[in-house]
Amino acid sequence: MRRSARVRRSGAGAAPGGPALDRLLRTALREDLGRGDITTQACLPAGLRTKARIRARRPCVACGLAVAARVFKLVDPRIRFRMRGRDGRPARPGATLAELEGPAAGILAGERVALNLLQHLSGIASRARRCTRTLAGTGTKLFDTRKTHPGLRDLEKYAVRCGGAANHRQGLHDAILIKDNHVALAGGVGEALRRARRRFPRAPLAVEVDDLAQLRQAVECRAGLILLDNFPLPRLRRAVRLYGRQATLEASGGIRPETLRRIARTGVGRISMGALTHSVSWADIGLDIDFPRPPRARR
């Protein structure tokens, strides 16, 4: 049985958490707070409590609510964070995603970091949802890549799953993906595949090819998953016609949302798209204070 690159297929799963997430969030909070929020210290009385809502201002797929909740918990454990939305669910304009209650200084201190992550992850989930819907009915599966922001890979790949797309390998450690530079240094596609199988016989294995000649070599070496890098549409169609029954073929390189359906119609089984994570517009989500009104100054 051929082994191909590892894929997460069974839904979004639990949001990333644990010590690694806490380290990331504490770094982000230190970056933003520094020695303290001097605007809040200057403008608000000490001990003021308030309520707030996190709302979607434009349509999106929510993602990162548990991460936002953790931000506020790290800032001040007294802040209560009630989720009213769910990761992976669509949110209409004006929809309340979460309600907060607690010290006003803590809510304002955590607001920016929480919203940055929530907006970014919801933007990824929203794009993934739009792209997977574009492929509906084609039989072609959509995957992400390793083109993620340093330190945010777990979160960004989770957001991809929340949007309905699938994950490629997590990193260099959990699957073999032979790319053009490996091929050049190893002396060819066949030699690179042979060495990979000898060294890690149980690892998931895929190879990327640049042309039909390399594709033929990969098929002859019984590669199970073959990435067709920057193949134009006519070449993709020919590749599928010649070898589509002998290996799983994946279109990769320079994929844009507007080209997805045309690529899928060539018959490839998979498409990998770095734009799911590397150039996504943030979702429009904001935090609004509900209560109380600012206290009147004593006369």
Quick check: is 39 in a domain? yes
Say yes or no: 116 and 135 in one domain. no
Please indicate, yes or no, if residue 86 is contained in any of the structural domains: yes
pLDDT tier, 15 (very low <50, low <70, confident <90, very high otherwise)? confident
Domain of 256?
A: 131-278
Q: How many domains does the chain have?
A: 2
The average pLDDT across 24-30 equals: 98
Write out the DSSP string of 46-105: TT-EEEEEEEESS-EE---HHHHHHHHHHH-TT-EEEE-S-TTSEE-TT-EEEEEEEEHH
Q: Report the 3 state secondary structure along 238-262.
A: HHHHHHCCCCEEEEECCCCHHHHHH
Q: Can 229 be counted among the known catalytic residues? A: yes
Domain match, 274 and 138 both: yes
Which of 147, 195, 216, 238 does the annotation list as catalytic?
Answer: 147
CATH number where 158 lies:
3.20.20.70
**Which residue among 73, 89, 112, 146 is the active-site one?**
112
4 vs 230: CA distance, rounded Å? 20
C-alpha 226/C-alpha 41 separation (Å) is: 58
| Catalytic status, residue 250 | no
> Which residue in 37, 111, 208, 250 is the catalytic one?
208
- Whether residue 237 lies inside any domain: the answer is yes
Please confirm, yes or no, whether 208 is among the known catalytic residues.
Answer: yes
* 112 is annotated as an active-site residue: yes
Is 7 a domain residue?
Answer: no
Q: Please calculate the CA angle 218-224-226 and round it to the nearest 5 degrees.
A: 55
Task: Quick: pLDDT tens for 101-130.
Answer: 999 999 999 999 999 999 999 999 999 999
Q: Is residue 231 domain-resident?
A: yes
Q: How far apart are CA 186 and CA 132, in angstroms?
A: 36
**115 and 182 co-located in one domain:** no
Domain containing residue 286: CATH number? 3.90.1170.20
The predicted model scores a pTM of 0.92
Q: Indicate which residue of 87, 156, 229, 250 is catalytic.
A: 229
Whether residue 5 is contained in a domain is answered as no
What are the pLDDT digits (tens) for 193-245? 999 999 999 999 999 999 999 999 999 999 999 999 999 999 999 999 999 99
Distance CA 19, CA 287 (A): 26
Q: Is 6 among the domain residues?
A: no
Note whether 84 and 200 are same-domain residues.
no
Catalytic residue among 49, 179, 195, 238: 179
Residue 1, domain member (yes or no): no
Are 31 and 113 found together in one domain? yes
The answer to whether residues 239 and 258 belong to one domain is: yes
- pLDDT tens-digit map of 127-176: 999 999 999 999 999 999 999 999 999 999 999 999 999 999 999 999 99
